[in-house]
Amino acid sequence: MIHRRLLRLLAVISMLVLLAGIPSGHPGSNSASAHPLGELTINHFSELTFSEETVTVRYVIDFAELSTLEQIRQIDGANQWDVAGADLDAYLEIVVPEFLDGLDLTIAEQRVELQEIDSDAWFHEGNWGFELLRVEVTATGDLPATIDDDVTGRYVVRNFPGRLGWHEVVMPAGDEIAVTETDALRATVTEELLDYPDVTEEEALQIYDVDFTLSPASDDAEESPGALVEREDSAVGTLQRLMNSTERLVDLESGSSVAVLLTMLGAFAWGAVHALSPGHGKAIVGAYLVGSRGTPKHAIFLGLTVTATHTAGIFALGIVALTLSHLILPETVFPYLSMLSGVLVILIGLSIGYRRYRAYQTTGIADDHGHHHHGHDHGHSHDHHHHDHGHDHHHDHGHDHDHEHGHSHSHDHDHGHSHGHDHGHGHHGHSHLPPGADGSDVTWRSLLALGVSGGMVPCPSALVLLLGAIALGRLEFGLILVLLFSIGLAAVLTAIGLMMVYLRSVFERFSFETRAPGLLPVLSSLAIAFAGVIIVVGAMAETGLI
């Protein structure tokens, strides 16, 4: 009872922490929601305006927290902990020509060479004490010919290929030269990467390769509206906003005991809320525990394994980010970890499915009575020839029964010794469920493998949490926060596992005269393998392999 009360109290406190941080203003007004796709992103904005003879390009790059760390290594006088002495002018001299070379603008099938007019770069505060780097470049180029008729063109942003981020291209209609047809936007939807909408990765704007048509303004040609993007918060975006609210509570610079307590509760709650976002193995854990006779201790063991693996992965990637980021970016590691995780999940699902299907073929549990005539030869060699038991010990179960009674044939012998063989279908090891579906296939090895696969892909948010703590000189506290984040993540997965266990026990009270219940363990194993396939395909897509 005391444990339940403590758990309830912790849940209430966590919810209060969440609710206390919900912003009252616009969700994009805080730095935490500045990068809806995460702290590893590089975000691009371009605006092209045309005159009779020239084109002007305004190009902005917004580096998220961990991407800024990569750029800082190229800046003299700066490190990840201190950017006060950064020589940004020297940095711009190096990167601006590279950035402009990555802007591929062709008009009338001729490349337009862009020349820098102005550039600027500065740092501003991000999450967890990190700095964010913003670079703005204005360039111009000569049009290859006078626009006295419709001319087609193309604009492609080729900087940082393959990096996750928001891509936005804007082409206003124009006064002197009209942009009559284009895939670009007519106006920015992010205030030039200063105010992002809350979206998922799939919903993020990805306009970096656009075609357009230029026409003389005097032609009064009908202008296309350009691409339309509605700013609507998705369900996941709302969830992300809750996470951002909790994230702001983790004030690492405060040293008061109340702030420390709120920070720790916030980290736990953040991990719990983060687990509710897509992924994190919820479907895999559920399918496994439904298909096998998993018990609460199995669900708890899964949660503990996820916690340990996830925490270890964060620590390892933190070391990589701090020491080897000039060689290996954490972002490049995530897809390969996901791929390895998916392969492991596939092997687990197929292995379990094979064992369950073999067991199903052996027992054949789906006949008219829910099982075959097993002939349960118990070998009770009683040698009592002077009385009749009333039925053969090889009882073919011609009578109609469900599988919960105990067949209590009391064998009323004349000489008074009642055998009372209360063999309740399982007491002698002959379960009417396939071996493995009654718990025998819930091996600690398979549970460990499943837990490792679910926790081996660290959450970038937790990595930022650790690095932010290190940046503020609070390494020990950062390790504790990452552990609490992982515990919150695993607590939700464990709760889902327990729910699956208890719901399965409810359904088992009903008798289904079909083949489906007998095949359910096999089907759930295939569901696990299919989830692994999805993970692998997604990871391969991220790496460009498919």
152: which 2 tokens? 């087609």
Task: Please state, in angstroms and rounded to a whole number, the distance separating the CA atoms of residues 457 and 325.
Answer: 18
The predicted structure's pLDDT at residue 287: 58
Residue 155 burial (10 A CB sphere; 0-12, 13-18, 19+) = buried
Q: H or E segment at 529?
A: helix 516-543
Ranges of each domain in the chain: 27-233, 250-365+436-543
Report DSSP letters for 170-189, one per residue.
Answer: E----SSEEEEEESSBSS-S
Task: Please state, in angstroms and rounded to a whole number, the distance separating the CA atoms of residues 437 and 294.
Answer: 9
How many CB atoms are closer than 10 A to CB 492?
19
CB 320 within 8 A of CB 527: no
Sheet containing strand 131-142, strands side by side:
115-125, 131-142, 54-63, 42-50, 167-170
Residue type at position 400: D
Instruction: Tell me the CA distances in angstroms from 328 to 142, 334, 482, one per residue in order.
Output: 40, 11, 22
CB 68 within 8 A of CB 56: no
pTM of the predicted structure, to 2 decimals: 0.53
Phi, psi angles (nearest 5°) of residue 46: -135, 140
Q: H-type helices in 56-105, by residue range? A: 65-72, 88-101
CB 495 within 8 A of CB 375: no
Sign of CA dihedral 207, 212, 217, 221: negative
Q: Say which DSSP state 165 is in.
A: -
Phi, psi angles (nearest 5°) of residue 99: -65, -45
Average pLDDT per block of 10 residues along the chain, 546 residues long:
44 38 34 65 96 95 86 76 82 96 95 97 81 95 86 95 91 87 92 88 89 79 50 42 46 57 80 69 58 71 80 76 58 69 74 73 48 42 44 44 43 44 39 36 71 72 68 70 83 80 64 52 72 79 73
Nearest to 213 by CA among 190, 239, 184, 237: 184
**Any idea which residue has 């296939």 for tokens?**
441
Task: Please state, in angstroms and rounded to a whole number, the distance separating the CA atoms of residues 81 and 467.
Answer: 10
Task: Please state, in angstroms and rounded to a whole number, the distance separating the CA atoms of residues 479 and 107.
Answer: 54
**Any idea which residue has 């993540």 for tokens?**
489
Residue type at position 337: L
Task: Please state, in angstroms and rounded to a whole number, the distance separating the CA atoms of residues 212 and 294.
Answer: 59
Nearest to 538 by CA among 314, 301, 263, 341: 341
Maximum distance among all alpha carbons in the chain? Answer: 118
Give the SS3 label for residue 119.
Answer: strand
Task: Please state, in angstroms and rounded to a whole number, the distance separating the CA atoms of residues 546 and 544.
Answer: 5
Phi, psi angles (nearest 5°) of residue 133: -105, 135
Q: 206 has which bridge partners?
A: 167
